[in-house]
Amino acid sequence: MATTDLQTRFLGAQDVAAIVTQAGLAATLRGLADAIRDDYRHWQDFDKCARVASHSPVGVIELMPIANAHTYAFKYVNGHPKNTLRGLPTVMAFGVLADVATGAPVLLSELTLATALRTAAMSAVAAQALARPESKSMALIGNGAQSEFQALAFHYLLGIEELRLFDVDPQATAKLVRNLQHTPIKITLCTSIAQAARGADIVTTVTADKTKATILTPDLVEPGMHINGVGGDCPGKTELHPDVLRGASVFVQYEPQTRAEGDVQQMPPDFAVTELWQVLCGHAPGRSDERQVTVFDSVGFALEDYAALRWLRAQAEALGVGQSVSLVPDLADPKDLFSLLTGIDRPCGSQ
């Protein structure tokens, strides 16, 4: 006799959008930032590994697993920069939370929208620890699908008042301006990376091309600047000149993964980096003075997806959002899987 509820809560894209709409974007970003910060402070409780990636000439498909003693999570995600030419998002993702005690999946959720939100929240968590507290202006290099989320996270969580925008695609910048027009953020349109970076307290690079690019060079870096490098997130893809890294204190999520995928892939194995959890737990210093240049070499890590999934699950349960689906068969006799095939042709000679 079946005694276990094997229903899985499913959150589609519209469900996650409904959660964000009901909570409000500012509250969503704060909630995700709080969940991420809390989970990073429990770093030692998690069984961690670098994501498993399958690369092709046009993109990458990845699995990102993580677990603690109670919950297992993974995200499926792709990165295909030319997808927009086909009318598809560059990044598409979904994720699962499962019960470690039984292996039963308890949540299946879209993570395309949620990944953009958690990436922005992660950037803000890092900047709160590493940027100058009085930071008011940010250069945003790359104005594609992630840009609104980065802009609003820094506005709501760090008090950024001015954005200096640049993208090689003017239509992307126009889209970003249109989507931010309801906010009090002052927007300055720039004709070059140099113009955007000049005088900015924070520089966020979030470009999509899978190439060894040099978006930010040492001559554009000013004392006290915090650099939020988001776009370099797989082997062969970079945004920062190596000398930018050499002249800064560099912070990462999970060092084994960032060594292969982040901007520090350009550096020798003994190049010093600090995992951010050490700063958040008080085990290592973050910013030490006003003139220090800090870099957050962000590649995205499974712990942030775990935090996002558990936040979404709590919100969905509180708001009654989503639906129950049967991903796993609920059997009267758990040893009789064949019983699902009622009505199937029986083997010859059977009665």
Marked catalytic residue, from 39, 233, 297, 305: 233
Our answer to whether residue 233 is catalytic in this structure is: yes
Q: Are 189 and 177 in contact (CB under 8 A)?
A: yes
Angle among Cα 130, 135, 137 to the nearest 5 degrees reads 120
Cα-only R_g, the chain: 22
Q: What distance, in Å, lies between the first and last C-alpha atoms of the chain?
A: 26
Treating both helix axes as pointing N-terminal to C-terminal, what angle do 112-130 and 302-319 enclose, rounded to 10 degrees?
120
Residue 288's Cβ-count burial label (10 Å; 0-12, 13-18, 19+) is exposed
Rounded to whole angstroms, the maximal C-alpha distance in the chain is 85
Share in percent of the chain as helix, strand, coil (round to 5): 35, 25, 40
Sign of the dihedral defined by the CA atoms of residues 233, 238, 241, 243, in that order: positive
Q: Which residues are catalytically annotated?
A: 233
